[in-house]
Structure 1
């Protein structure tokens, strides 16, 4: 995953988590935390959907293309979560290196 893909995924996630009342997420106390939580929940949901599709295919109730599509979606979600995690860790490490 390159930086452009991560930026696009972040922008898509930020668009999905935007509040509808006109307030900005930065102004809220848990805006970033809520965004991360939503991303994690979406990744978990994609994984569960992929597992369900695999079970359905094994039982003969789903097509292989549906399984492949759901697994690819789950993989993309996981890569996005890992990219965000890496950026958060990098930011934390940089903050810890700052002189007081």
Structure 2
């Protein structure tokens, strides 16, 4: 197992356009099943943001940058991101790279 410092951790924020929550939730559910099977994936957890309606947050951890790039370039990830072009505000998710402070 790689050193925790090598992990690539990101938080993706998706803000659904009106009327597209169900489509995004279904897409996240389908995507999660595939991403969790990736050899370099450690965590992929989609959440509904209870503080802001029509908003979703995905917490993701990968073994390293290479595993993350393999995830980003997977056909199912590209397909999900293509769907966001017409279902999410701004046409995409906002991806924030984060790191542990403890």
TM-score (normalizing by structure 1): 0.31
The alignment's TM-score, normalised by the length of structure 2, stands at: 0.31
Q: Which has the higher contact order (CA 8 A, sep 6+)?
A: 2
Larger Rg: 1
Q: As a proportion of its length, which structure holds more helix?
A: 1
By percentage of residues, which structure has more strand? 2
